[in-house]
């Protein structure tokens, strides 16, 4: 349960809430504004052990008073069954309220609950409809990424091959909006060909370079591999070592292994140049 308490704290942390927690009562809640009610919940969560029941009562009051953070937090408690029996219906109710109050992430949460069958019967159509709603109503590219990931899965298995280009269009828009994870999908799709989207090595490299320059370790490792093999890009072991070094510094194991392998084929001067390039890339970010 400890991990769930840490996750819940993301909803609530705003600063120090060190005063003695007030036991919940409707009378006490009526004397406080929504944010003050939410802070009372935070105090109960900071107890050792956390008092989830009292926290939930205060959060429900804060949610009823209009606190969007409290709506999301109560939804999480009901979804996970923390301090209360799991109740997906109530979780969906609170998440819907939070979404309608302007927090797009809860529309996505609802979508994934339906897709993954979290407390409800799996419902792919309902999940996709929620992603589509967030896109249509909020022009949200996190929702584009979520919907595209489902479309990619359908296209890869040839269940619905036409979804290959549909996913691409969503991902291109998401990338234009700054969602760098979209570059990963686009590079992989163009490398392998997905559904009705044909392979295109040049496009694959283009999106790999975007992801690598955005600091995505896995894509830096991909770019290192391409340079090491001379596939589509110029064969350049110094450049390959640079990208492998950057990938490794981001915790990518493939990058670490590749860095050592490439180093065996470089002179001392070339190694110094590769390290200089990596450091220059870091300094220019």
Number of domains in the chain: 2
95 & 220 share domain: no
148 in a domain, yes or no? yes
94 in a domain, yes or no? yes
Domain boundary pick from 137, 169, 201 = 201
146 in a domain, yes or no? yes
241 & 146 share domain: no
What percent of the chain is helix, strand and coil (3-state, nearest 5)? 70, 0, 30
186 & 249 share domain: no
pTM: 0.86
Planar angle of CA 278, 283, 285, nearest 5 degrees = 100
Question: Which domain range does residue 223 map to?
Answer: 215-285
120 & 248 share domain: no
210 in a domain, yes or no? no
Phi-psi region of 117 (alpha: psi -120 to 50; beta: other; left: phi over 0): left
d(CA 142, CA 158): 25
DSSP category for residue 47: S
207 in a domain, yes or no? no
The burial of 251, by beta-carbon neighbours within 10 Å (0-12 exposed, 13-18 middle, 19 or more buried), is given as exposed
206 in a domain, yes or no? no
d(CA 231, CA 1): 48
219 in a domain, yes or no? yes
Planar angle of CA 194, 196, 201, nearest 5 degrees = 55
- Cα end-to-end distance, the chain, whole Å: 39
CATH code where residue 118 lies = 1.25.40.10
185 & 235 share domain: no
Domain boundary pick from 157, 175, 201 = 201
111 & 232 share domain: no
d(CA 283, CA 277): 10
183 & 249 share domain: no
- Which of 242, 213, 211, 210 minimizes the C-alpha distance to 225? 242
Domain boundary pick from 166, 201, 236 = 201
Q: What's the confidence (pLDDT) of residue 12?
A: 54
209 in a domain, yes or no? no
85 & 167 share domain: yes
3-class DSSP state of 71: helix
166 & 268 share domain: no
222 & 138 share domain: no
| pLDDT, block means (10 residues), the chain with 285 residues | 50 58 94 95 92 95 96 96 95 98 97 97 97 98 97 92 97 96 96 96 96 96 96 94 97 96 96 96 92
6 & 86 share domain: yes
180 & 223 share domain: no
Token readout for 25 is 């009562």
Residue 247 phi, psi dihedral angles, 5° rounding: -65, -45
């Amino acid at each position: 349960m400890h991990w769930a308490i840490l996750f819940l704290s993301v909803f609530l942390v705003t600063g120090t809430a060190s005063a003695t927690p007030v036991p919940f009562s409707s009378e006490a809640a009526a004397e406080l504004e929504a944010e003050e009610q939410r802070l009372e919940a935070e105090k109960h969560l900071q107890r050792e052990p956390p008092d989830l029941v009292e926290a939930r009562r205060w959060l429900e009051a804060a949610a009823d008073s209009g606190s969007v953070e409290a709506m999301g937090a109560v939804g999480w408690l009901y979804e996970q069954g923390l301090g209360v029996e799991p109740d997906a219906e109530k979780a969906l109710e609170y998440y819907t309220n939070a979404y309608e109050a302007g927090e797009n992430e809860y529309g996505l949460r609802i979508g994934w609950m339906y897709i993954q069958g979290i407390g409800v019967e799996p419902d792919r159509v309902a999940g996709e409809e929620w992603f589509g709603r967030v896109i249509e109503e909020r022009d949200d590219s996190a929702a584009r990424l979520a919907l595209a990931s489902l479309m990619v899965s359908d296209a890869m298995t040839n269940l619905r091959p036409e979804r290959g280009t549909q996913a691409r269009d969503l991902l291109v828009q998401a990338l234009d909006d700054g969602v760098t994870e979209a570059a990963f999908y686009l590079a992989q799709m163009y490398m392998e060909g997905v559904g009705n989207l044909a392979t295109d090595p040049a496009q694959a490299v283009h999106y790999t370079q975007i992801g690598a320059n955005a600091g995505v370790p896995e894509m830096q490792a991909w770019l290192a591999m391409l340079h090491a093999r001379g596939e589509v890009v110029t064969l350049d072991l110094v450049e390959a070592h640079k990208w492998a070094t950057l990938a490794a510094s981001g915790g990518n194991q493939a990058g670490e292994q590749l860095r050592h392998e490439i180093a065996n084929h470089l002179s001392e001067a070339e190694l110094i140049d590769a390290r200089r390039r990596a450091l220059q890339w870091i300094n220019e970010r």
